[in-house]
Amino acid sequence: MKRVIGFGEIMLRLNPKNYLRLVQATELEATYSGAEANVMVSLANFGVDAAFVTKVPKHEIGQCAVNELRRFGVDVSNVIRGGDRLGAYYVEKGASQRASKVIYDRAHSSISEAKPEEFDWSLIFKNAGWFHFTGITPALGDNATAATLEAVKTAKELGLTVSCDLNYRKNLWSKEKAGKVMSEIMPYIDVCIANEEDAADVFAIKAENSDVTKGQLDKDGYRSVAAQLMNKWPLKKVAITLRESISANDNKWSGMLYENGNAYFSPVYNVHIVDRVGGGDSFGAGLIFSILSGYGSQEAINFAAAASCLKHSIEHDFSLMSVSEIKNLADGDASGRVQR
Amino acid sequence: MKRVIGFGEIMLRLNPKNYLRLVQATELEATYSGAEANVMVSLANFGVDAAFVTKVPKHEIGQCAVNELRRFGVDVSNVIRGGDRLGAYYVEKGASQRASKVIYDRAHSSISEAKPEEFDWSLIFKNAGWFHFTGITPALGDNATAATLEAVKTAKELGLTVSCDLNYRKNLWSKEKAGKVMSEIMPYIDVCIANEEDAADVFAIKAENSDVTKGQLDKDGYRSVAAQLMNKWPLKKVAITLRESISANDNKWSGMLYENGNAYFSPVYNVHIVDRVGGGDSFGAGLIFSILSGYGSQEAINFAAAASCLKHSIEHDFSLMSVSEIKNLADGDASGRVQR
Amino acid sequence: MKRVIGFGEIMLRLNPKNYLRLVQATELEATYSGAEANVMVSLANFGVDAAFVTKVPKHEIGQCAVNELRRFGVDVSNVIRGGDRLGAYYVEKGASQRASKVIYDRAHSSISEAKPEEFDWSLIFKNAGWFHFTGITPALGDNATAATLEAVKTAKELGLTVSCDLNYRKNLWSKEKAGKVMSEIMPYIDVCIANEEDAADVFAIKAENSDVTKGQLDKDGYRSVAAQLMNKWPLKKVAITLRESISANDNKWSGMLYENGNAYFSPVYNVHIVDRVGGGDSFGAGLIFSILSGYGSQEAINFAAAASCLKHSIEHDFSLMSVSEIKNLADGDASGRVQR
Amino acid sequence: MKRVIGFGEIMLRLNPKNYLRLVQATELEATYSGAEANVMVSLANFGVDAAFVTKVPKHEIGQCAVNELRRFGVDVSNVIRGGDRLGAYYVEKGASQRASKVIYDRAHSSISEAKPEEFDWSLIFKNAGWFHFTGITPALGDNATAATLEAVKTAKELGLTVSCDLNYRKNLWSKEKAGKVMSEIMPYIDVCIANEEDAADVFAIKAENSDVTKGQLDKDGYRSVAAQLMNKWPLKKVAITLRESISANDNKWSGMLYENGNAYFSPVYNVHIVDRVGGGDSFGAGLIFSILSGYGSQEAINFAAAASCLKHSIEHDFSLMSVSEIKNLADGDASGRVQR
Amino acid sequence: MKRVIGFGEIMLRLNPKNYLRLVQATELEATYSGAEANVMVSLANFGVDAAFVTKVPKHEIGQCAVNELRRFGVDVSNVIRGGDRLGAYYVEKGASQRASKVIYDRAHSSISEAKPEEFDWSLIFKNAGWFHFTGITPALGDNATAATLEAVKTAKELGLTVSCDLNYRKNLWSKEKAGKVMSEIMPYIDVCIANEEDAADVFAIKAENSDVTKGQLDKDGYRSVAAQLMNKWPLKKVAITLRESISANDNKWSGMLYENGNAYFSPVYNVHIVDRVGGGDSFGAGLIFSILSGYGSQEAINFAAAASCLKHSIEHDFSLMSVSEIKNLADGDASGRVQR
Amino acid sequence: MKRVIGFGEIMLRLNPKNYLRLVQATELEATYSGAEANVMVSLANFGVDAAFVTKVPKHEIGQCAVNELRRFGVDVSNVIRGGDRLGAYYVEKGASQRASKVIYDRAHSSISEAKPEEFDWSLIFKNAGWFHFTGITPALGDNATAATLEAVKTAKELGLTVSCDLNYRKNLWSKEKAGKVMSEIMPYIDVCIANEEDAADVFAIKAENSDVTKGQLDKDGYRSVAAQLMNKWPLKKVAITLRESISANDNKWSGMLYENGNAYFSPVYNVHIVDRVGGGDSFGAGLIFSILSGYGSQEAINFAAAASCLKHSIEHDFSLMSVSEIKNLADGDASGRVQR
């Protein structure tokens, strides 16, 4: 299977144990993650040769981030050392009607201040077949935007498939800025992953008859969003995740894959949430793996949705599920019976 | 907003982690709380100038209780030091059909043995506009009964609004004793908070057609309880919390505010419980805040119910929610979606 | 009440905290348990004189297993010391669609290599009225099979009631081997406990119209399984546990007792799972206690089902519920309301 | 070896982890211990048939205390259930120049309010050869004093050896009261255990030339204290523990046994402290075991001193050392080399 | 006693448990501290009215810092909310020959970017008698330098005593910059606290015959440093802490107070370290308290040295010792004997 | 620098937290280590290309072991999957006079039952320059002995340097068996690492005038051991670690390197122990690194001794020190002063 390269930020994630609020916590769980890093870990778990490109400071906290990637099998030989700090974010897990909360402290991180010329994309992409990033990476700053653009251009030149999860982050840039920058990048993308809000936030592409705070879903609406994206850019596939939020503990979760004018919907899962951060990333990983494996459209969206459904049962950002565990669910066994 | 004074006991709360039973535990989480202290912490969180009056021993465990109040912004300048011990209670969190369990070890605490003359109520109530206590305080013993009576009388003389949560505790006194003592106190109360069982236990006031162990609720019954309370004493408002227990993990929760002959019901929330101890106290705090803020009746009961609904999602007794978080729920967003 | 003797393996159980996967864990909770040991602990909790027979190594880990039994009141005077190792097993708690996982590391344990002549059953059964084991014990190896056979024969000679939970474990022996060995043992058994899969796996006895992975239950099917077992061997009672797996968090749970040609079904409980390992063992304990207490058939199955329903709310294998707590549920209060 | 009976209080011990002060702690380690209970656990560890007599409340916290004794092999069949509460104490571990701190919350415990007639000493002492208690037991109150007196009288009538560790606790009674009560009890005692301060506090018996706060030790002084005790009462042996406090982390520790006019001194150990609470109790247990084993005087004091030296390396009150581990130290190997 | 105002940064401190290295940690202890905040907490513990001035972000992590100060009695009414982030630092506790390690991540914090005009010093100093800060505050950036200068000038005008701990941090500024800035500030300072390295780093003032990496101390050298500082600026007192580092676990610790041409040396303590971060701050607090209490020079340095000796026995930055505990050590009892 | 290959067993290490005894523990820290794996991790930390060869089961526990190696940079591409179990061992940390205790449960592990032909040494040694193993590997069983022999022979043929740490384990084989097997292997070894006991246990080579339980060291004795080893086999270097055990907390530690007829002794370090398991392995790694780096004899032994001195300050088996940290100590700074 082809080598996959991810590019983005990896941060220190700090969260209180269980359902404690941050103001109650005297200890924080410390893990290391980020949207693209999460995808690479999932892929490495699936047996894919996955490498992550980023920049981290030389001190121990930077090393911790590298170690966490290595631990789960991601190739870190293209991680650059230097700069001032590793970004951090605080997560407070919600429950019932209380929402989860994420506080970012990522400004001035090593990767956000890395210069475009620090990345030798021709070298990085050697032997690789796929390049993945999310809308967070160019949002980190002008240097990061430039590096991303250079990366996608080089990737296309070298014949890699390029995937992007729109992942709009309002704390990083305005909708206007996002729209402008992402419009420059979109022409180089083959596979676009999004949720309904992303498309609306970044490109003002909206589905009708759907209100996410009410948790209603409308298949036609999603189909329409995908079609609009495809019309605008030379995408080969658009995949959209569909979350209906019943409460902070319970969500409905499914996905749609749109290609060749057809929309393929996965089953809808009732997920009882352990940790939903990283849910979208595991969907992206499932999709990339499906495509690399040559799955058909329905099989692909089913695998991606099952992969991300299962992510919700795992603490922290990384999805640590095997291909066989995911296939078991995609094949219909959602009973959660003990396996001895 | 007016200064609020709370009076009562603060105890060491000891509970095993997660769902462990007490007989399994080798470590206990140690927090400090009590019915009225919980209300003051909520109010301080809302930005109200809230002070707590109690007596704690001079040693470190007494100091811990004071520190926990200070930490969350409660004024402790009226806390008296002395006496023998801080009361304690053990909490075992239930799950599914297994009920939560509370074991009290509060006899002979400093506050329960404090003499009435130790409290200079005229001084304590200086600059204050509201006095709150619960039926637990006079139940602590004859000294505490006398202190409470003196407090409510002084409060009324000085023009404070007085609120009382009936909070009947069968381990502290008999129904007969409770009825006799509370009947002396009720004439000084403006706002009475209760649940159906409290009114029945203390004053033998019952609603028809409602069986709490079955979890059935009957709006007319609650209206009738409130009306009976109002007929008997010169109350301005009666508020009742309505809990339907599906299991130890899942409850339905709502509230009713009765004033001027009308009953206002909040929405009914399906709460997936993190910790339900202190749920009633956060309702009281929400109600006091609503009244101090001049909310209308429906807005007031909605805020109080939303405040206490959210409390169920927080570990330990204290409700650590902001006004804006509560308003968000009261305004209808119960989706628990991540806030970044 | 008569003294009960259990015979089998006790292992070190290692599990990550909460919902962590094994590959995430840096700490493991360490408890000591096993199918028959779990039953003995339940019985000791109920006030029964319960003794456990096994063999553990002389070192500290063996001592830990003994201590855990003693702690909960089980008589350990018949535990033999020696051999090489205490078996261990790893448990990973599932959530939502992710299944729980059990990894055994029990080969070559002291009990599995104990010689039959190390157990003096006449002495062990002195003053005892009941002997209990499960299908796991003879599956531990040829020595263990021989010891079990000797035990049941001696038990019958001495007039003890003998109960066996079929408990088929595919990692320990093949269906063929299990069927052959268990067929030698069945003639000595009075009370047989099973789930539908056990009867099918060990004796190829199947109920029609029931598909456990779909979670469907069929009363007639279970009745048929019990009747077939009774026809084949001189059993006095057959009890079957009925699990419908909604997800790793939520199961439906009930039981059936079949005797004298009649099937008695307990209510069906919706259990929100804390830890389901040991659920079947607590059912066995509830049933043994019910029979020793002279309960009627319906009362007996209700008590056993309530006992095991409540087990699902307790961490680790041991069910630490009292008779009164179980009766409260069996009598219909499933509300899980706080008990103060 | 003869059965040993201990009588006294068992309490909930709560301490912060490691070196945290109480005002920093949000979790407390919960164990169950008491002076005489500690001795019984040590003896059970040594293989002695040891039983503990006390009264604990019927609720779960009382049960926890019983379970902890059972876990380590102590016979609890004479523990009475009832009364209001289990006493508790808080321990804060000192370090360097900061002293450890103990805060007691033991008033009104079940055992302190038990009536003398609740204990049937003739029955309790059946098959027993030794009775042990400390000066704490009669100090719990008048009921406890009466029970202790009855116990020692019955013990002597039945021919048991009686040992008492003076263990003066200034929070429980005055020196005057202690002196008066203990003087009534001393005539029934065979083996008296003390430290220099105890003898001075209770009986105003002082050694010259020794200042414990300076950590100086004077062999002649201790010999003189023992001789004075022996002169005053019909004791057979007096044992004294000798602690020189270098800091909260480092102590020198040794013991003296005085009998037949001769003083036998153990080696002096430099102990690097893990937890020193219970150090004296493990000395008592070592001494009782030595005498029951028929050790010579020097061997006996060496074993007792080694036993208690090693206790200082163990967390919490209970000393969990085996006879062979203690003998290894008593025989001179203090190197602490790894044992594989 | 006069009100004391502290000014500086408060940060999130993250450290692994016990002696784990950062690369081993999956959980970090989270406390909130800073050089001047530590001093204020010590003073509040001593009963002094202590207030802390800083700026923290509006989110939960900022609130946590405020709560931690409130918890220990520090007045936070002058804490400004706003800006982007709370600074953080990582601490790894050393052991034996392995040094402790501190990694700062404090750039761009709210306080470092606060504008001088955000602080109304006349208002802040109302009713205050003492102003304390350290050399870290002006080192945070040009805004902070300006704010500090304005603060010291206002303080002098209003007649407050001003104390400064030089606290040179090489990561924040160069020696040249430090020397230049501090030289502007020194004319307003009454009490200067330093260690030998600080004076050398900031002002190139050196003591002869002393090599800190060898742990040698030279009384004359320290006296010379103090005299040089006094000659250069109109200081009233200079206090110097003297650390001899035996290993990461064991240090010798003492202090010198120089005033009116005389040097007063405290006893030298052998400290077995629990956590040495904040040791210097607790010395400053002890000194300020001593001066505010009117202690003589020798008594003052003895109290300050004892206060900071004891800090080394406490986890995290805050020194949580009472005046009586410190006096007990200053009066000569360093035995660390248990206090019951 | 040349690639280094290690061969041996990696096990699950389970230990209670801090100083708890195993019989007190309800949680165990879970790490993964083994003598040769520890060496590879150290080397990877030093920047060496280090690979580890072993066999682990396919399940999650096997994967955990692989992940832990990857996390710290060890190449695991030659780890074989299969077999039944991962070996485990229990560690109880000693304190003061109480010895640390190690209980092995490693029989029947995947690596111990791996067939020699599973390892393709020519392939494994491709591009490698050094092969390291310890006496534990051939002791795992006859298969392991055969595999080891094949490995050393191939290594020599391919021109690799071969190092072996004698590491005698009495639980794995008798002295006779060890002597016989190791004598076959020694001819292929270039660098032999041992402690005095190893040489005596395996080859009956003894130094005079040295008694390890007394902690005495004798330079001549060690020199003599090394010379005897060199005389017997064609070794190029012999390195011996010298431990003097003061107590379980405090050891003296140093090393000797013997080559070309000269003995080079490192300084003697007083180590205050955090965890001494793996101390010898970090010495081996330090030595290999020194030799690969071309250090002189004195520099080499100094680096190795400093590396292993520092290991004693780190929890668990792996030594996580950098080259610069070790050089800092080797260059003489043992003060453990904070590094900011």
Give per-residue pLDDT as tens, A252-298: 999 999 999 999 999 999 999 999 999 999 999 999 999 999 999 99
> Across the interface, do A100 and B339 touch by the CB < 8 Å criterion?
yes
User: In 10 A of CB C123, how many CB atoms?
Assistant: 9
Report CA-CA distances (Å) from C21 to C26, C90, C91, F57.
10, 11, 9, 17
According to DSSP, the β-strands at D250-259 and D262-265 are antiparallel
CA atoms within 13 A on the CB side of C116: 15
Structure confidence at residue B215 (pLDDT) = 47
Measured between alpha carbons, how far is A110 from F103 in angstroms, rounded to an integer?
Answer: 46
Among F147, F89, F141, CA closest to F112 = F141
Residue F196 has what pLDDT?
A: 75
User: Average pLDDT for residues D247-275, to the nearest whole number?
Assistant: 97
F22 touches chain D (CB under 8 A): no
Closest residue of chain B to A246, computed from CA coordinates: B335
Q: B321 contacts in E (CB within 8 Å)?
A: none
Question: Can you name the residues that pair with C15 across neighbouring β-strands?
Answer: C29
* DSSP one-letter code for A322: -
Which residues lie across from C270 on neighbouring strands?
Answer: C252
Tell me the ipTM for this assembly: 0.95
Q: How many residues does chain F have?
A: 340
Q: Which residues of chain A does C167 touch, with a Cβ-Cβ cutoff of 8 Å?
A: none
**Is E104 close to F340, i.e. CB distance below 8 A?**
yes
Nearest to E245 among F18, F310, F336 (CB): F336
Contact with chain A for residue C23, Cβ under 8 A: yes
Facing B97 at nearest CB: one of C18, C316, C336: C336
Chain D, residues 40-69, CB within 8 A of chain C, namely 67-68
Q: Residue F317: phi, psi to the nearest 5?
A: -75, -35
Chain C residue numbers touching B170 (CB-CB < 8 A): 340
Q: How large is the average pLDDT for residues A301-309?
A: 98
Contact with chain C for residue A30, Cβ under 8 A: no
Interface of A with E in 2-21 (CB under 8 A): 14, 21
Does the distance separating the beta carbons of F101 and C60 come in below 8 Å? yes
Minimal Cα distance from A104: which residue of B?
A: B340
In chain D, % of residues over pLDDT 90: 93
Give me the phi and psi of A14, to 5 degrees please.
Answer: -120, 125
Nearest to A40 by CA among A155, A131, A145: A131
* Residue in F92, F103, F108 closest to C108 by CB: F108
What CA–CA distances, in Å, run from B227 to B203, B223, E99? 13, 6, 71
Alpha helices by DSSP H, listed for E186-322, are 196-203, 219-232, 279-292, 297-311
Three-point CA angle A241, A244, A246, nearest 5°: 150
Taking the Cβ of residue C193 and every Cβ of chain B, the question of whether any pair is shorter than 8 Å is answered with no
Is some CB atom of chain D closer than 8 A to the CB atom of E309? yes
Q: Rounded CA gap, A265 and A222, in Å? A: 10
Q: Does F96 touch chain E if contact means CB atoms closer than 8 Å?
A: no
The rounded radius of gyration (Å) of the Cα atoms in chain B is 19
Contact A276, A269 (CB under 8 A): no
Backbone φ, ψ for residue A81 (5° rounding): -105, 135
Tokens of F260: 């070309």
pLDDT confidence of residue C219: 86
- Best probe of the C interface among B97, B173, B197, B271, by most C CBs < 10 A, is B97
User: What residues pair up with B198 in beta bridges, in sequence order?
Assistant: none
Contact with chain E for residue B72, Cβ under 8 A: yes
pLDDT score for F218 = 78
**In this model, does residue D4 exceed pLDDT 90?**
yes
How far is it, in rounded angstroms, from Cα A68 to Cα A62?
10
Least Cα distance to A300 among A288, A314, A312 occurs for A288
Q: How far does C212 lie from chain A, in Å, by closest CA?
A: 9
- Interface check for A90 against chain B (CB to CB < 8 A): the answer is no
pLDDT digits (tens, 9 = 90+) for C231-249: 999 999 999 999 999 999 9
Beta bridge partners of C257: C239, C264
pLDDT for the residue numbered A213:
53
Q: Output the CA–CA distances (angstroms, integers) from residue D55 to D86, D88, D108, D112, D114, in the order listed.
A: 9, 14, 12, 8, 7
Look at strands F250-259 and F237-245 and give their pairing. antiparallel
What distance in Å separates the CA atoms of residue C159 and residue C62, rounded to the nearest whole number? 32
CA distances from C26 to B26, C22, D97 (A): 19, 9, 34
- Closest Cα partner for A286 from A248, A251, A249, A255? A255
**Alpha-carbon gap, residue C257 to B19, rounded angstroms:** 30
Write down the pLDDT at residue D215.
Answer: 47
Neighbours of chain E (3+ CB pairs under 8 A): A, B, D, F
From the list D86, D47, D40, the residue with the least C-alpha distance to D317 is D40
Which residues in chain A are closer than 8 Å to E109, comparing Cβ atoms?
Answer: none
| Residue B25 touches chain C, beta carbons under 8 Å | no
Q: Can you give the pLDDT of all 340 residues of chain E as single tens digits? A: 899 999 999 999 999 999 999 999 999 999 999 999 999 999 999 999 999 999 999 999 999 999 999 999 999 999 999 999 999 999 999 999 999 999 999 999 999 999 999 999 999 999 999 999 999 999 999 999 999 999 999 999 999 999 999 999 999 999 999 999 999 999 999 999 998 799 999 999 987 655 555 544 578 889 999 999 999 999 999 999 999 999 999 999 999 999 999 999 999 999 999 999 999 999 999 999 999 999 999 999 999 999 999 999 999 999 999 999 999 999 999 889 999 8
Residue type, F251: N
Write down the pLDDT at residue B218.
78
Q: Does D60 contact B103 at a Cβ distance shorter than 8 Å?
A: yes
Which parts of chain F have pLDDT scores under 50?
215-216
Contact (CB<8Å) E64/A108: no
Residue F244 · residue F251 · CB < 8 Å = yes
Q: Do residue E72 and residue B72 have CB atoms under 8 angstroms apart?
A: no
Q: Could you give the dihedral angle defined by the CA atoms of residues B116, B119, B123 and B129, in that order, rounded to the nearest 10 degrees?
A: -80
Residues of E within 8 A of B72 (CB-CB) are: 67, 70
pLDDT of residue C318: 98
Could you give phi then psi for residue E161, rounded to 5 degrees?
Answer: -75, 140
| Residue appearing with tokens 């005077």 | C77
CB contacts under 8 A, C 133-162 vs A, are none
CA distances from B32 to B56, B72, B134, E6, E46 (A): 12, 12, 17, 29, 23
The whole-number pLDDT of residue B209 equals 59
Residue pLDDT tens, chain C, 340 long: 899 999 999 999 999 999 999 999 999 999 999 999 999 999 999 999 999 999 999 999 999 999 999 999 999 999 999 999 999 999 999 999 999 999 999 999 999 999 999 999 999 999 999 999 999 999 999 999 999 999 999 999 999 999 999 999 999 999 999 999 999 999 999 999 998 799 999 999 987 655 555 545 578 889 999 999 999 999 999 999 999 999 999 999 999 999 999 999 999 999 999 999 999 999 999 999 999 999 999 999 999 999 999 999 999 999 999 999 999 999 999 888 999 8
What is the chain B residue with the closest CA to E64?
A: B71
A29, A103, A108 member nearest E60 (Cβ): A103
- Which residue has 């600080």 as its token pair? E198
Sequence-separated (6 or more) residues with CB below 8 Å from residue A165: A35, A39, A132, A133, A134, A135, A193, A194, A280, A281, A284
- Tens of pLDDT, residue by residue over B37-72, are 999 999 999 999 999 999 999 999 999 999 999 999
Q: Would you call F67 and A71 a contact, using CB atoms and an 8 Å cutoff?
A: yes
What torsion, rounded to 10 degrees, do the Cα atoms B54, B60, B61, B66 define? 40
Rounded to two decimals, the pTM is 0.97
Average pLDDT, chain D: 95
Length of chain A: 340
Give yes or no for D216 touching E (CB within 8 A). Answer: no
Q: Would the pLDDT of B123 be above 50?
A: yes
Segment D3-29 shows an average pLDDT of 98
Q: Which residues of E281-313 are buried (b: 16+ CB within 10 A; e: fewer)?
A: bbbbbbbbbbbbeebebebbbbbbbbbbbbbbb
Q: Which two tokens stand for residue B205?
A: 């006031």
How confident is the model over A57-110, as pLDDT tens digits?
Answer: 999 999 999 999 999 999 999 999 999 999 999 999 999 999 999 999 999 999
pLDDT tens for A195-251 read 879 999 999 998 766 555 554 557 888 999 999 999 999 999 999 999 999 999 999
Residue F263: phi, psi to the nearest 5? -110, 130
| Residues of A with Cβ-Cβ distance to F71 under 8 angstroms | 67-68, 70-71
Distance CA C36, CA C136 (A): 9
Residue F31: closest C-alpha in chain C: C26
Of C310, C315, C333, the CB nearest to B19: C315
What are the start-end ranges of the H helices in C158-262? Answer: 175-185, 196-203, 219-232
The encoded tokens of residue D206 equal 């002082």
D109 C-beta neighbours (distance < 10 Å), count: 26
Taking an 8 Å cut-off on Cβ atoms, the answer to whether E29 and A26 are in contact is: yes
pLDDT in the model for residue F211: 56
CB pairs under 8 A between A and C: 89
Interface test with chain A among B27, B315, B338, by most A beta carbons within 10 Å: B338
pLDDT given at position F215: 47
Mind listing the domains of chain E with CATH numbers? 3-330 (3.40.1190.20)
Dist. CA B77–CA B86, nearest whole Å: 18
| pLDDT at res. B228 | 95
Could you tell me how many CB contacts below 8 A there are between chain B and chain E?
A: 16
Predicted confidence at residue D47, as pLDDT, reads: 97
Q: Do the Cβ atoms of D272 and F245 come within 8 Å?
A: no
